[in-house]
Amino acid sequence: ALHMHFSQRSRFLGRVTGNPVRAVDGVSFSVAKGKCFAIVGESGSGKSTLARLLVGLLKPTEGDVTIAGHVLSGVSESAMRGMRRRVQLVLQDPRASLDPRMRVEAVLEEALIVHGLGRTADERRQRIMRVVRQVGLDAQHLDRFANELSGGQRQRVAIARAIIVEPEILVLDEPVSALDVSVQAQVVNLLMDLQEQLGLTYVVITHDLALVGHMADAVGVMYLGAFVENGPVSAVVADPRHPYTASLLSVVATSDPKVERQRAITILEGQIPSPRDMPAGCTFHTRCPLAKRIAAESDGGVLPHRCLTEKPAPRPFAGRTITCHFAERLHEPQPATVASTI
């Protein structure tokens, strides 16, 4: 299982171990081997930072990132490389991450060489041929340059480059959102096939709830560098219990009455606060519709004192972990504005 912990104000403290321990001052998640954990949130929530910390592209300013007991930061360059091999990153736009002047074969061979895999050219060629077929390409693509490929093919090459080094975890940062809608499903299906065949563990970062519903077993909703709600997809997405999640995943009525109402990620009112200017108490209190409603119902009309002064601790609630003092009140019956009596 994989376990992480964030501290406030971008001072990252992360841990990924086989034996998750909930951190006192942060939010944690764990995902069993072969499962998929999704991270959703607005831009600026810190989810891309998390991805980069996980793969060692960013170093925490405080604390360590460790995976299965191995420290990812602050160790020797060769130990770092070993960890980097085990956790591979696939980015949204392979155009940005694939050198257009390199042929596909060279891209894949370079990944092997960087990680010291494949001793001879023959051995490397065999590995390259195998992985190219695994991602649904063939030998003819090996001589192409990245910019001669379609978007879907480029993303297949990026996936091939990640899996050729035999990682355990893939961090997928918006893996299909740069692709044409017509090829998104193909790439999602490829990712799910590979996950099953190779026993990979996925951490997928996305704003696409259809993707979350399709791929993920569990989901964490991020706000200002911390999870506010995290748990099984079946609970969190279908029935959000944190006011941020409930606003973010608003219900969208579909025109077809036979289709169940669907959730979509909406833009919340107000700006996400700067990490340098973190609200005291609950970091969501500047935008929280529940705190506003409680204020409106109170005599003075002021936000609850606890929201303003006391940082909520993650706690188990309704089959997930939630970080809100008043989650119980989210669905309480609203006072009727017009009394209708007979």
Binding site for Mg ion (CB under 5 A): 48
Interface with ligand SF4 includes 202 (CB under 6 A)?
no
Pick the piece of the chain touching ligand SF4 (CB under 6 A) from 2-10, 92-100, 103-111, 277-285.
277-285
Using CB distances below 5 to 8 A depending on partner kind, what does residue 48 bind out of ligand SF4, Mg ion, none?
Mg ion
Residue-by-residue DSSP string for 182-213 = HHHHHHHHHHHHHHHHHT-EEEEE-S-HHHHH
Task: Determine how β-strand 169-173 pairs with β-strand 87-90.
Answer: parallel
Query: What DSSP designation does 73 have?
Result: S
Rounded Cα gap, residues 308 and 1, in angstroms: 35
Q: Would you count residue 326 as binding ligand SF4 (CB under 6 A)?
A: yes
Using CA atoms, how far apart are residues 44 and 122, in angstroms rounded to an integer?
45
Under the binding rule (CB under 6 A), the answer on residue 187 touching ligand SF4 is no
Q: Which is nearer to Mg ion, 174 or 229 (CB)?
A: 174
* CA–CA distances in Å: residue 54 to residues 204, 208, 266, 276: 12, 21, 27, 22
* Binding status of residue 223 toward ligand SF4 by CB under 6 A: no
Q: Kindly determine how many residues on this chain lie close enough to bind ligand SF4 according to the rule CB under 6 A.
A: 13
Q: Of the two residues 28 and 206, which places its CB atom closer to Mg ion in the complex? A: 206
Q: On the CB side of 131, how many CA atoms lie within 13 Å of its CA?
A: 27
**How many Cβ atoms are within 10 Å of 76's Cβ, its own excluded?**
8
Can residue 41 be called a binding residue for ligand SF4 (CB under 6 A)? no
Closest CB to ligand SF4 among 60 and 312? 312
Q: Which of residues 60-99 bind ligand SF4 (CB under 6 A)?
A: none
- Does 46 bind ligand SF4 (CB under 6 A)? Our answer is no
Task: Give the one residue of 83, 307, 314, 321 binding ligand SF4; rule: CB under 6 A.
Answer: 307
284 binds ligand SF4 (CB under 6 A): yes
Give yes or no for a contact between 303 and 286, defined as CB atoms under 8 angstroms apart.
Answer: no
Q: Which stretch binds ligand SF4 (CB under 6 A): 8-16, 256-264, 265-273, 283-291?
A: 283-291
Smallest separation, CB 22 to ligand SF4 (Å) = 19
Considering the rule CB under 6 A, would residue 243 count as an interface residue with ligand SF4?
yes
Provide DSSP, 87-140.
EEEE-S-HHHHS-TTSBHHHHHHHHHHHTT--SSHHHHHHHHHHHHHHTT--GG
Residue 152 partner contact from Mg ion, ligand SF4, none using kind-dependent CB cut-offs of 5 to 8 Å:
none
Q: How far is the CB of 291 from ligand SF4 (least distance, A)?
A: 4
The piece of 15-23, 55-63, 198-206, 322-330 that touches ligand SF4 (CB under 6 A) is 322-330
Q: Which two tokens stand for residue 94?
A: 């392979």
Q: How far is the CB of 64 from ligand SF4 (least distance, A)?
A: 29
Binds 153: which of Mg ion, ligand SF4, none (CB < 5-8 Å by kind): none
Residue 320 near ligand SF4 by CB under 6 A:
no
Partners of 145 in the β-ladder: 103
Site membership for ligand SF4, residue 236 (CB under 6 A): no
**Nearest one of 30, 93, 41, 2 to 212, comparing CA atoms:** 41
CB 5 within 8 A of CB 28: yes
SS3 218: strand
Do 252 and 246 touch, CB atoms closer than 8 A? Answer: no
Does residue number 325 form part of the binding site for ligand SF4 (CB under 6 A)?
yes
Taking contact as CB under 6 A, which single stretch among the options 159-167, 172-180, 280-288, 331-339 is the one that binds ligand SF4?
Answer: 280-288
Q: Report the residue closest to Mg ion, judged by CB.
A: 48
Mode of pairing for the β-strands spanning 28-31 and 2-5: antiparallel
- Footprint of ligand SF4 (CB under 6 A): 243, 282, 284-285, 288, 290-291, 304, 307, 312, 324-326
